[in-house]
Amino acid sequence: DDNDGELRFVTHVDISAGEEIQFTTTTSGDNEDRTNLRGAGGGEEGTFTWTAPAGGVATGVVTTVQGFRPTSNDQVLVYQPGTNDNPTILVSLNNNNNGGDGTGIAYVVETATAETEPQFAVTAKKYQSVRKLVTAPEPESCFHATDASCPSADRLFNEGSGFTLETCEEKCFETEGCVHFTFGRDGGANAGSCYGCGDVTLEADAGEVDTYELEVFLDTIDHKCPQAGGVRLFLNNSGTLTYEECKQLCLDTVGCALFSFGPLDSFLPGWCTGCAAGTTLEEDAARGLDTYQLGDSCITAESCIDTANFKCDDGDQLFAETAVFTRQSCAQKCLETEGCVQFTLGRDASAGQCFGCADVTLVQDLNGFDTYQLEVTLLELDHKCIANTRLFPSSGTLTYDECKQKCYDTATCGLFSFGPADSTLPGWCVGCTDNIANLEADNTRGLDTYRLGTACAPTTTPTTAPTSSPTASPTTAPTVGPTV
């Protein structure tokens, strides 16, 4: 920071107490005193030595160095002491002008070769190689589809083996434009495989794979919501926000679908702005902001055990799958099937089989089948609670889980209508009592209505000690959500 005389760096490894790191603006051709620290008003080239404090510095800690102030278009070389002919160079940076304000690291050097004394010949490379810091945003995803994968022609990457679900998720999150990732189920024919693609139509795949969708995906590197045209929905330039806080700011702002965030290694760390879907982004490589896009609100199935050694009868099955299904993938298939309330999952010799059915009488089966009930079921596609039956007003900023919880928290609510990201009212949420007569068809807005289940209904923990006296019946619905 050329105005405050501060230089900040983040550690990628633990640093022991007493270890020294040097910062210098001296390069080939500089003849100034190489031990002279550049003063608050001076223009000297110089070198500053930082010593790790007692106790050392842990990985990921941001450290501020006071008084080291490179000028516009100056280079900063970071190295560890050695002989003048052979220092250990850690990183080399260029402080570009950025329109004359004299601030902001914008270029990183790929190689730096020691010459005579602490003078260096450097080759500048576009700032890219140190983008991923230990403070990098954490990806989040939700189950999207069973037995479906990214089409071969649309894959952004295609890895055949060796991945876990977490590493496949991370690869998609770090790939510009990746929205979906396909992962081979454990124990299946394609276990450990990983494919990524954008927001495209998936293709059927019998290779025992599942496809997940990122909650937020990396839209464009080095681009931001433009300042011109009044398209920004908000701007927080305090420099104090985390990635999660910036994302939440977009989620809480009606109409926001894109948010630009300054990572710790950018010119504007902690900087955050948001804009609507379809906004033409502005390229700004010098400042290093990246723009993320909110994906579909994750609608993840949750279930609880209902009956062991019973299954959906053959004549009542809405679907019957014999591939390698997990409890989560079978639950998700049931949630995505209109009218499905419970699902049967095979174990032991029948492991991986998956059947779904409505709220019907189960049949006993001792061949390794258990039936689970969904916490919430998809009642009607393209239907919503009628206006005069609604128990709470609409909101355009809720996630699926928040909408579901709002229904749980509202007395007598049994149905909730929610607008997914591909509807004309994304994040829209209303609730009504559990009566099919309270719904109306609405094919133009794309809202879907879900029903709260009973077998997995949440309960609250008592907050007062029991007494011998009777208590009144509760007047509000439970507020604690269920767990899988």
More confident: 194 or 49:
194
- What pLDDT score was predicted for residue 73? 55
Backbone angles phi, psi at 165, to 5 degrees: -60, -40
- Is residue 86 scored above 70 in pLDDT? no
Q: What average pLDDT does the segment 370-379 reach?
A: 90
431, 437, 424: which is closest to 451 by C-alpha? 431
**Could you tell me if 225 and 271 are in contact, meaning their C-beta atoms sit under 8 angstroms apart?**
no
Cβ burial, residue 432 (10 Å; 0-12/13-18/19+) = buried
Model confidence at 407, in pLDDT bands (50, 70, 90)? very high
- Is residue 479 scored above 70 in pLDDT? no
Question: What DSSP string describes 332-365?
Answer: HHHHTSTT--EEEEE-GGGTT-EEEE-S---EE-
pLDDT more than 70, % of the chain: 72
Burial 30-53 (b: 16+ CB within 10 A, else e): beeebeeebeeeeeebbbbebebe
CB atoms near residue 388 (< 10 Å): 7
- Is residue 484 scored above 50 in pLDDT? no
Mean pLDDT lowest for which of 101-105, 297-301, 359-363, 444-448? 101-105
- What pLDDT score was predicted for residue 130? 33
- What pLDDT score was predicted for residue 77? 72
- Is residue 120 scored above 70 in pLDDT? no
- Is residue 68 scored above 90 in pLDDT? no
Q: What is the pLDDT of residues 290-330, one digit of tens each?
A: 999 987 656 777 888 878 899 999 999 999 987 678 888 88
- Is residue 112 scored above 50 in pLDDT? no
For strand 439-441 and strand 141-146, is the pairing parallel, antiparallel, or unpaired? unpaired
Model confidence at 5, in pLDDT bands (50, 70, 90)? low
Backbone angles phi, psi at 94, to 5 degrees: -120, 130
- What pLDDT score was predicted for residue 254? 75
- What pLDDT score was predicted for residue 402? 87
Model confidence at 67, in pLDDT bands (50, 70, 90)? low
Q: What is the mean pLDDT of the chain?
A: 76
Backbone angles phi, psi at 167, to 5 degrees: -70, -30
CB atoms near residue 449 (< 10 Å): 24
- What pLDDT score was predicted for residue 413? 95
Model confidence at 282, in pLDDT bands (50, 70, 90)? very high
- Is residue 156 scored above 70 in pLDDT? yes
- What pLDDT score was predicted for residue 317? 95
CA 451 to chain centre: 27
**Alpha-carbon distance values, 155 to 49, 112, 151, 197, 360 (Å):** 48, 37, 6, 5, 41
**Alpha-carbon distance values, 418 to 220, 227, 379, 396 (Å):** 29, 33, 12, 10
Highest mean pLDDT among 236-245, 432-441, 446-455: 432-441
Instruction: Report the C-alpha gap between 345 and 370 in whole angstroms.
Output: 6
- What pLDDT score was predicted for residue 251? 81
CA angle 172, 175, 179 (to 5 degrees): 50
Model confidence at 457, in pLDDT bands (50, 70, 90)? low
Instruction: Report the C-alpha gap between 234 and 275 in whole angstroms.
Output: 8
- What pLDDT score was predicted for residue 87? 64
Instruction: Report the C-alpha gap between 176 and 289 in whole angstroms.
Output: 13
Burial 211-243 (b: 16+ CB within 10 A, else e): bbbbbbbbbbebbbbbeeeebbbbeeeeeebeb
More confident: 227 or 146:
227
- Is residue 126 scored above 70 in pLDDT? no
| Residues present in the chain in total | 484
Q: What average pLDDT does the segment 206-232 reach?
A: 90
- Is residue 469 scored above 50 in pLDDT? no
Q: What average pLDDT does the segment 427-447 reach?
A: 91
- Is residue 85 scored above 60 in pLDDT? no
Measured between its terminal Cα atoms, the distance across the chain in Å is 48
- What pLDDT score was predicted for residue 285? 85
Mean pLDDT lowest for which of 75-79, 87-91, 201-205? 87-91
Cβ burial, residue 180 (10 Å; 0-12/13-18/19+) = buried
Amino acid at 347: R
- What pLDDT score was predicted for residue 306? 79
Q: What average pLDDT does the segment 27-54 reach?
A: 54
